[in-house]
Structure 1
């Protein structure tokens, strides 16, 4: 075998190895990229329900929750964990008309309402941010603690919305809309509600707008 033939054989072997390694590297890189970008998800539809809910008032709330939990170790050493939670929420208040009971009297063109639902919170869209989280040495925040904090904050938002003016605004809005709609169709609404239901709706009807009138300043005496 001559020298030129040997060199040709060695160069061919090196080139073949280099090409083979390059093809192997490219194939593995593509497989790796495909493996990284592959995702799978499963969406399960549990149930579909027909609802007749009408939103009549919308409110925006911001609440600050100062959470602190103290625990004692061996009844001697106190250890605390703290957190500041700022919660923002959009609250929708309205009525679930599936709860209303009524009958139509076509001879007198009347809608006789025998039960009218109270305004309720239909939806709360919340956003939470945690600040100044301080963990104790042996008293630390867990995932369950964070979940409970969010549940408490949402419950507080729900109570605050029902205690405010949103239910009264929603009740006045729905009453006005119903009577106007009935009058436009030459119908009348006849409320024949149970006493407790009537009294409760009257409480929601008592809505007084805030009147901000400037007070006159006393005149300066000469």
Structure 2
């Protein structure tokens, strides 16, 4: 009888301790949340990419997927994504083709210059108005597809903005300034040379440095927002 009494007392005490701990945890708001992260470095590459313009964009992206139940009833699911992005546009100098520098005449000739490209998109996504169907539910693949399509839309919108033009003007000004500071003459491809000559002519007409006649990427980005 003494043994059974001891066992019962131990069980009651343990149960009371667990109950008291749960009550205390609820009152203090303590939660046991654990996060684990694994970082895998796949490769490191040497690049020579230069950012010449940045723009800030906001986009409302609507996603809708229609699914039929028994080929008769529509079972749609939809979501609205608001994306705010910082887009960096510039050049990959690995794609530039130079002639051998003419040291005697101190001339640097560029045969071909790459088109500006989006170098990075830093985006903050927020999901709103997520409505799943009766049987047509969202899964991980759906969210991945939504984010991929929203990023692609942002990339296209950036390239349709003034950012590529601004980047072209900026890179030509930078190369012109760099070569002039060293006493060299810079020769660009015909279209780029005309653009640079136009910038220099405008600056001389207004008696301003070339940089003063260049538009700013922030103004371009905000105008697209």
What is the TM-score normalised by the length of structure 2? 0.67
**How well do the aligned residues superpose, as a CA RMSD in angstroms?**
3.0
1:164 equivalent in alignment to 2:161: yes
Correspondence for 2:60 among 60, 64, 75: 64
- Cα deviation 1:17-63 (Å, max 9, x = unaligned): xxxxxxxxxxxxxxxxxxx8998765332222111111111101100
Deviation at 1:64, TM superposition (A): 0.3
Runs of 4+ deviating beyond 3 Å: 36-44, 205-209
Summarize the Cα distance change of 1:139–1:98 in structure 2 as closer, same or farther, 3 Å threshold: same
Q: Aligned runs of 1:1-222 on 2, under 5 Å?
A: 42-102=38-98, 103-192=100-189, 198=191
Gaps of 5+ in 2: 1-31, 200-212, 216-225
Distance 1:80 1:39 in 2: 34
CA distance in 2, matches of 1:191, 1:159: 27
Shift of the 106–124 alpha-carbon distance from structure 1 to 2, 3 Å rule, reads same
- CA offsets 1:186-206 (integer angstroms, 9 cap, x no match): 10112256xxxx48x96xx99
Instruction: Decide whether aligned partners of structure 1 residues 157 and 38 sit closer, same or farther in structure 2, where only a CA change above 3 A counts.
Output: closer
In the alignment, the residues of structure 1 paired with residue 189 and residue 54 of structure 2 have an alpha-carbon distance, to the nearest angstrom, of 29
Residue segments in structure 1 that go unaligned for 5+ positions in a row:
1-35, 210-222
TM-score, L = length of structure 1:
0.68
The answer (yes or no) to whether the contact 2:113–2:189 under 8 Å persists in 1 is no
Cα pair distance change 1:141/1:181, threshold 3 Å? same
Aligned length: 170
SS at match of 2:143: helix
Q: Relative CO higher for 1 or 2, CA cutoff 8 Å, sep ≥ 6?
A: 2
Residues 137, 53 of structure 1: alpha-carbon distance in 2 compared, 3 angstrom cutoff: same
Change (3 A) 1:41 1:91: closer
Distance 1:82 1:109 in 2: 62
